[in-house]
Amino acid sequence: MSNIVAIVGRPNVGKSTFFNRLIQRREAIVDAVSGVTRDRHYGKCDWNGKEFSLIDTGGYVLGSDDIFEEEIDKQVELAIDEADAIIFMVDVEAGVTGMDEDVAKLLRRINKPVFLVVNKVDNAKRAEDAVEFYALGLGEYYTVASINGSGTGDLLDALVKVLPEKEDVVEDELPRFAVVGRPNAGKSSFINALIGEDRYIVTDIAGTTRDSIDTKYNRFGFEFNLVDTAGIRRKSKVKEDLEFYSVMRSVRAIEHADVCILVLDANRGFDGQVQNIFWLAERNRKGIVVLVNKWDLVEKDHKSVKEYEKAIRLQMQPFTDVPIVFISALTKQRIYKAIETAVEVYQNRSKKIKTSQLNEVLLPIIENYPPPAYKGKFVKIKYIMQLPTPQPQFAFFCNLPQYIKDPYKRFLENKLREHFGFNGVPISVYMRKK
């Protein structure tokens, strides 16, 4: 279970530069994942073997200066609620500003580790100037220069020391289905419709993950945990429309799920906020089912479903192999179909394909459509195997892996989907030296 670290602070102090620097360090270790990352504010970081999720609150602030302050307060409060540790960033060039003091006031009240980080300190003169930040009353500070990374090592050393050891909760090995989506899309109604007067419930466990409610559920002879991220907001604190909020809440639920059931409101469509949650699930390599809820309220003709579905798939590119189910939580239309689909996706995600079968099916296809030659050199793929990971990952062994580009990897991925059926599951394709 990974820890969450939030970077807070007023605009333009360099939060995003710092965030990108930390995330890239992770990407140097792990294979880069093909496909686009549409949402720039969430990533995983690894330091000295300790992994944590990093959230940059900066990119979510919209609007003019007077709205700024209010939004920043909301974000800081939310970050304080959700994160295990907080990096509070200030800018040595600007000195202590009123907005910094407001944020510090919020942070002084909490009993979570807060790291005061003074950015843009790239010479001795600025290191002296940083002393004035003692005035914020947060004790010691760390000086860094996000632009070239100096000082980040000491900060990260200190940070991973205070992150709580997360014990992996192994209460049961049941598959976990997380119901995610923006506020008011009908997540709770969907879960209530499933559970409502149902006699399949085994137990209700509240607060197992501190921020979502798990329900054991049994249907079609298949038992799983249903994780509701909906019923957990403190209305007094959070404005419904805050995009940051729904992403932040979804992070934990998505990280610990096997399949994400993404509920969207048919009248609002696959908008930016829903896309953020979709890409978050895709980047965490989770199974995904999209439920278009409130379909009973939409004016439709015989073409509606096809056109609506086409529009959503366009937004999902390049990962379009995702089941989309049109439901109404109110009238219970197709809600069991939705769960049945989620079970299928779960089975697809844990599917293991024999090496002999992979080679038998794919090598002839590769022979007919080999990778394009690069600088006069021919790339030959000799052998394919599935890696022993929780989600589908495939290694293609070849003589010149560095010459195989993304379009060809996507071609291989599509062939895997076509022949072995990985509907709803992100696939990773790696090229390895034979």
What is the DSSP annotation of 204-229?
A: EE-STTSSSEEEEEEETTEEEEEEE-
The two beta strands, 259-265 and 176-180, are parallel
User: What does the pLDDT read at residue 201?
Assistant: 35
The answer to whether 10 is annotated as binding is yes
* Cα separation, 187 vs 190, whole angstroms: 5
Q: Are 349 and 425 in contact (CB under 8 A)?
A: yes
Q: Is 187 left (phi over 0), alpha (psi -120 to 50) or beta?
A: alpha
User: What does the pLDDT read at residue 351?
Assistant: 92
pTM above 0.85, yes or no: no
Q: Are 220 and 340 in contact (CB under 8 A)?
A: yes
433 strand-pairing partners: 398
State which amino acid sits at residue 133: F
* Cα separation, 326 vs 190, whole angstroms: 12
The answer to whether 11 is annotated as binding is yes
- Pair of tokens at residue 432: 């390895």
The answer to whether 233 is annotated as binding is no
Give the CA distances from residue 113 to residues 1, 70, 101, 139, in Å, rounded to whole numbers and listed in that order. 19, 24, 18, 11
The answer to whether 414 is annotated as binding is no
Number of H-type helices and E-type strands within the chain: 12, 16
User: What does the pLDDT read at residue 245?
Assistant: 59
- At 85, is the secondary structure helix, strand, or coil? strand
The answer to whether 189 is annotated as binding is no
b (16+ CB within 10 A) / e for 295-314: beeeeeeeeeeeebeeebbe
The answer to whether 184 is annotated as binding is yes
* Cα separation, 10 vs 103, whole angstroms: 8
User: What does the pLDDT read at residue 326?
Assistant: 94
What is the side-by-side order of every strand in the sheet holding 3-8? 42-47, 50-56, 3-8, 85-91, 114-119, 141-143
User: What does the pLDDT read at residue 58?
Assistant: 62
The answer to whether 14 is annotated as binding is yes
Q: Which domains does the chain have, with CATH numbers?
A: 3-162 (3.40.50.300), 176-350 (3.40.50.300), 355-433 (3.30.300.20)
Q: What is the pLDDT along the chain (434 residues), one digit of tens a residue?
A: 578 898 888 877 888 788 878 876 433 222 223 222 334 467 778 888 888 888 877 645 544 455 666 666 776 777 777 788 999 999 998 899 888 888 898 888 888 899 999 999 988 889 999 999 999 999 899 999 988 888 899 999 999 999 887 655 444 577 889 888 877 788 878 887 877 644 333 333 333 333 455 677 776 677 788 777 754 444 444 444 445 655 666 777 888 889 999 999 998 888 877 888 888 889 888 999 999 998 888 877 767 888 899 999 999 888 889 999 999 988 888 988 998 899 999 999 999 999 999 999 999 999 999 999 888 888 899 999 999 988 899 999 999 888 888 899 999 999 999 999 999 999 999 999 87
The answer to whether 16 is annotated as binding is yes
The answer to whether 424 is annotated as binding is no
